[in-house]
Amino acid sequence: MLLSDRTNSVELRPLRYQFPAARGDSYDDNWLVVGGAVTTTAGSWTFTDPCLLTDEARQVAAWLRAVAAGTVAATVPDDADGLSPDTWFVEPVLAFSVAAPTEDGAVLRVHLSMEAAPPWQQADGGPDIYQYAVEVRLDTAALLAAADQWELALSHFPPR
């Protein structure tokens, strides 16, 4: 799934299950390793991390469709300028929020923490959870295309 505008891009791909063979544990059997490639004006980096469960991964497409439909409200920083995502997961590596609605879509925030944070910030202990975010402006068609791309990629990784 590619989320991209003229300034920033975030590409996310489910790569494999963390454990190739099912072990009979519905929790451990469903961890997905996600690969990411990020480009911003500050720099580019990649990451690979088992950070989403199969059911959490499916929530991403549903969330993107809700954003495209205009049913997800923008979140604003709190009084201490902290960011809270709309949707987050067990592992606090990826999260998403809407920075602002636009006439034909939305400006998304892709929150990148821990292993997904920029390498130049990881050396200093990294930003607080969810506080580093890449903003990407997408129109409705791009939001729906990203949801379709993500669902297609996930079709290879059913819940086990």
pLDDT digits (tens, 9 = 90+) for 130-156: 999 999 999 999 999 999 999 999 999
The total domain count for the chain is 1
Write out the residue range of the structural domain in which residue 88 sits: 2-154
Determine whether 68 is exposed, middle or buried from the number of CB atoms within 10 Å of its CB (0-12, 13-18, 19+): buried
Answer yes or no: is 30 within a domain.
yes
Structure tokens at 150: 């993500």
Q: What's 13-38 look like in SS3?
A: EEEEECCCCCCCCCCHHHEEEEEEEE
Task: Out of 81-85, 99-103, 120-124, 142-146, pick the least confident.
Answer: 120-124
Answer yes or no: is 159 within a domain.
no
Contact predicate 118/131, CB 8 Å: no
Answer yes or no: is 50 within a domain.
yes
Q: What is the pLDDT of residues 92-115, one digit of tens each?
A: 999 999 999 999 999 999 999 999
Tell me, what CATH number does 52's domain have?
Answer: 3.30.2450
Q: What pTM was computed for the model?
A: 0.94
Answer yes or no: is 160 within a domain.
no
Answer yes or no: is 100 within a domain.
yes
DSSP-based three-state secondary structure for 5: coil
Task: Out of 33-42, 51-60, 115-124, pick the least confident.
Answer: 115-124
